[in-house]
Amino acid sequence: MNLLVTGGAGFIGSNFVRYLLKTQTDREITKLVNLDKLTYAGNRDSLADLEADGRYVFVEGDIADDSLIQKLLADYKIDAVVNFAAESHVDRSIDSPEPFFDTNVIGTLRIINESLKYWRTLDQNSQNAFRFLHVSTDEVYGTLSPEDPAFEETTPFAPNSPYSASKAASDHIVRAYQHTYGFPTLTTNCSNNYGPYQFPEKLIPLMILNALEGKDLPIYGDGMNVRDWLYVEDHCSGIWATLFRGRLGETYNIGGKNEKPNIEIVDTICGILDEKRPRQDGKSYSSQKIFVKDRPGHDRRYAINCSKIESELAWSPAETFETGIQKTVQWYLNNSEWCASITEKKYARERLGKA
């Protein structure tokens, strides 16, 4: 099969590409085309060890470039599209919403529209086999109180940030194309991912790297905002299961079944670092914690009910939070050069934007 992965140089996308080319053997990958715009959070170096793999093709470009999408679909005879490409950081969406709607809404509209036109040119067997999988987030469902049941696929959308609003819009676009045109789509909504190759502005890598650099560990509000944490490779296996076993037109929630408040995440990271790389002064890294003003509109709790994908597709997360966070901290300890490179790239782009 020939696969087009968009946003494959980002955190989840690069882990998905690696998961397929390094570990997946039940279906043969003839070509995997990775289309990425290489914004500040995209890093081609995350997949540098795959560049020599004859199945792998990297293309720098934008999912909103309809002529490029048209060419890639036709030239590589694509059998499935997995759309990771998205602006995804809530804080940045609050500061500057427009890029989120450019990529997450207009970009999704253009790539699904070109995919529809391409799909219509295929013979019947190829049409039946084709899939368009859209990767989304649990944030489209809004927020939960401590007593509320976890999000289900039927939970009404109630996005509370520009980021989640843009993702909700993209989910609706995908649903509309399936309903109106019979286009073979699937959507996944995942909980908070963590693991290797995550950009250091997100909570877990930020806390790890700030701790090691002797910086403050900033915690929003009272630190009791709760998220369900999903190890990224478990997310990748869930997407792969959905792509080939999911019912067309359906949405599948993918969660880690690990609800944790942010303060517990930070304390766990500090404890692991105290053991693996103690501070020279003998103090715990937890002494670097500070509490900062809460983010505007900060959702209190997310939780995913993933019983649908477990029962229909026989998927479940392989990692507990305890095993996944140990692997994650160790990866960042072992890959300081990658961290320094992507952080410098981020600041270089920001300095360029201010010049």
Respond yes or no: is residue 139 known to be catalytic. yes
Both tokens of 11, joined, read: 């955190």
Both tokens of 225, joined, read: 């905002």
Rounded CA gap, 318 and 237, in Å? Answer: 9
* Strand ranges inside the chain, DSSP E: 2-6, 31-36, 56-60, 80-83, 131-137, 185-190, 192-194, 217-220, 226-231, 251-254, 259-261, 289-292
Respond yes or no: is residue 138 known to be catalytic. yes
**Residues near 27 by Cβ (< 8 Å), separated by ≥ 6?**
1, 244
Q: Which CA distances in Å does 92 have to 40, 87, 99, 302, 319?
A: 12, 9, 9, 20, 30
| Sign (positive or negative) of CA dihedral 138, 142, 147, 153 | negative
218: exposed, middle or buried (Cβ count in 10 Å: 0-12, 13-18, 19+): middle
User: Which residue matches tokens 């995997």?
Assistant: 32
Respond yes or no: is residue 347 known to be catalytic. no
Among the listed residues 56, 118, 141, 163, the single catalytic one is 163
Residue 105's identity, in one-letter code, is V
Q: Which CA distances in Å does 100 have to 67, 142, 168, 267?
A: 21, 17, 12, 32
97: exposed, middle or buried (Cβ count in 10 Å: 0-12, 13-18, 19+): middle
Among the listed residues 36, 62, 87, 139, the single catalytic one is 139
Among the listed residues 36, 62, 87, 138, the single catalytic one is 138
Active site residues: 138-139, 163
